[in-house]
Amino acid sequence: MTAGRPRGRPSRADGEDRRAAILTVARRQFAAKGYRATSLRAIATEAGVDVSLIGHYFGGKSPLLVATMQLPIDPVEKISSVLAGGPDGLAERLLTTFLDAWDPHRDVFSSLIRTTLGSEGEQAPLLDVAREVLVAGVAGVLDGQDRELRAELVASQLIGMATMRYVARLEPIADATAESVVRLLAPAMQHVIDG
């Protein structure tokens, strides 16, 4: 009999380390390649675990993607608090809130955007949040018959800015200060909000 790790489930500490390693690798690979091009086998190989552990800890690829999106903020709560201020100054509040939330977590948001852009009919978490929370919420505080279209245009401006800043990483927007982005983009967004 050889000494080594006992068979069976890993210890709690080993399990937490492996789970954390899987999440770290998955975030990086989803951000770099998007959802469709990322394989569980590649994640497992880079994380140094058996692919079956991903199923054990997360249940599959989609739940793993959702697990990688865990942020120290609740996007629904953030958007709700921004919308509570009404349409006046909404663009500046939206941009400031989004940039404050996204900038520290660039890889996570890059992954979300890449996954959304490459989903072609698949369920994409960012689309759900954009439709059900952002667009519906913005439309709810706007007036006028075209408020749904205007709300979608606001969401498209936010997602477009995020795509250029976090996915394409084009200069100078990739390294521009959040204050500069808000100062320059908020007036155009507010014009759409005001109708």
Assigned token pair, 90: 């909404």
- Please report, for residues 126, 132, 159, the alpha-carbon distance to residue 129 in angstroms, rounded to integers and kept in the order given: 5, 5, 11
Q: What integer pLDDT is reported at residue 84 of this predicted model? A: 94
The dihedrals phi and psi of 192, each to the nearest 5 degrees, come to -65, -40
Q: What integer pLDDT is reported at residue 65 of this predicted model? A: 75
The answer to whether residues 190 and 169 belong to one domain is yes
Q: How far apart are CA 115 and CA 68, in angstroms?
A: 12
Query: pLDDT higher for 120 or 53?
Result: 53
The answer to whether residues 112 and 188 belong to one domain is yes
The answer to whether residues 44 and 85 belong to one domain is no
Domain of residue 58: give its range: 12-68
- Please report, for residues 11, 31, 102, 114, 126, the alpha-carbon distance to residue 119 in angstroms, rounded to integers and kept in the order given: 37, 14, 21, 8, 11
The answer to whether residues 37 and 131 belong to one domain is no
The answer to whether residues 92 and 177 belong to one domain is yes
The answer to whether residues 26 and 109 belong to one domain is no
Q: Total structural domains in the chain?
A: 2
Assigned token pair, 176: 């521009």
Residue 169 lies in a domain: yes
Residue whose tokens read 């080594």:
4
pLDDT in tens, 77-134: 788 899 999 999 999 999 999 999 889 888 877 877 776 676 665 555 567 667 777 8
- Whichever domain contains 64, its CATH number is 1.10.10.60
The answer to whether residues 53 and 100 belong to one domain is no
Global confidence as pTM: 0.65
The answer to whether residues 31 and 115 belong to one domain is no
Fill in the amino acid letter for 129: V
Residue 4 lies in a domain: no
139: left (phi over 0), alpha (psi -120 to 50) or beta: alpha
Residues 6+ apart with CB under 8 A from 119: 35, 36, 127
Residue 5 lies in a domain: no
The answer to whether residues 55 and 82 belong to one domain is no
The answer to whether residues 133 and 47 belong to one domain is no
Residue 1 lies in a domain: no
69 confidence band (pLDDT: 50, 70, 90): low
- Please report, for residues 23, 62, 93, the alpha-carbon distance to residue 167 in angstroms, rounded to integers and kept in the order given: 20, 20, 23
* 27-34 average pLDDT score: 80
Residue 6 lies in a domain: no
* 175-186 average pLDDT score: 98
Where would I find the beta strands (DSSP E) of the chain? none
The answer to whether residues 81 and 63 belong to one domain is no
Q: How far apart are CA 122 and CA 18, in angstroms?
A: 28
The answer to whether residues 172 and 125 belong to one domain is yes
